[in-house]
Amino acid sequence: MVVTISVSGAASLVPIRDENPVTITPWVTWGLILVNVICFIAEIRLSSDQLELFLYNWAFVPCQLTNQCSTALPISPWPEWITLITSQFLHGGFGHIAGNMIYLAIFGNNVEDCLGHFKFLFFYLTCGVLAALTQGFFAPDSVIPTLGASGAIAGVLGAYIIRFPRAKITMLPLPLPIPIKISAFFFLGFWFVMQFASGVASFNVPANTGSEGGVAYWAHAGGFIFGVILGPLLGLFSNRQSRS
């Protein structure tokens, strides 16, 4: 089955840690990671036929939301808008969930520290919804399920880059296994540029052929931009003295 995944990491960008301590216990960040892992365990226990039906019920399928499907698809018993949230907790493989959860663990705790637990959860889910809608805007007739946490995580990255642009990120520039320290501004800025450029390049891929299944670049770019906008509105700069 072809799916479009929303994955935070890229093969050449593997963060290990950041030098940016927090003042709280990031319960929401840890809870989100736990829920994602539980959902993934549930997924891998399904047969291939069960998994296909499960994804059409719970992953985000753009054409089902816009009513522009060119082919008959399994009918979900739930309103399609619900998948804008549920799709954020589904993943397409071990590498997919591992990459997303690494990014969430490293960058989510600091944004949660700034916003507080409840506003961070609202921020995270809202960025995920807006990221999925961005992907749907650029591919409204796509019949391919879109899933993954990184639309929401991209929002976290957008908030992080404007709040802590000088924070040091230790990364592995694969394929070289040599840790390098770089500022969040350059690390996350490069990440965003790559997502945006890849989204533009995806315009040349024929729609609904199955070949557009892959990475949801527009969800990443959209989530990042909405994180930059929404974070300050929720008090990103209010609760801590800037260490950037």
Q: Please tell me the distance from the alpha carbon of residue 193 to that of residue 199, in angstroms, as a whole number.
A: 10
Maximum distance among all alpha carbons in the chain?
54
Question: What rounded mean pLDDT belongs to the chain?
Answer: 88
CATH class in words for 4-233: mainly alpha
Residue 99 is predicted with a pLDDT of 92
**What percent of the chain clears pLDDT 70, i.e. is strictly above it?**
88
Is 83:61 a contact under the CB 8 Å cutoff? yes
Secondary structure letter of residue 206 according to DSSP: P
pTM of the predicted structure, to 2 decimals: 0.90
pLDDT tens, residue by residue, 104-132: 999 999 999 999 999 999 999 999 999 99
Which of 88, 235, 243 is CA-nearest to residue 159?
235
Tokens of 72: 């008959």
CB atoms within 10 A of CB 168: 15
Residue 244 is predicted with a pLDDT of 42
pLDDT tens, residue by residue, 25-60: 999 999 999 999 999 999 999 999 999 899 989 999
pLDDT tens, residue by residue, 124-162: 999 999 999 999 998 888 888 899 999 999 999 999 999
Residue 210 is predicted with a pLDDT of 41
Task: Write down the domain spans for the chain.
Answer: 4-233
pLDDT tens, residue by residue, 50-59: 998 999 899 9
pLDDT tens, residue by residue, 220-238: 999 999 999 999 999 999 8
Cα separation values, 10 from 35, 46, 131, 172, 199, Å: 23, 28, 18, 11, 14
| Whether the predicted pLDDT of 214 surpasses 80 | no
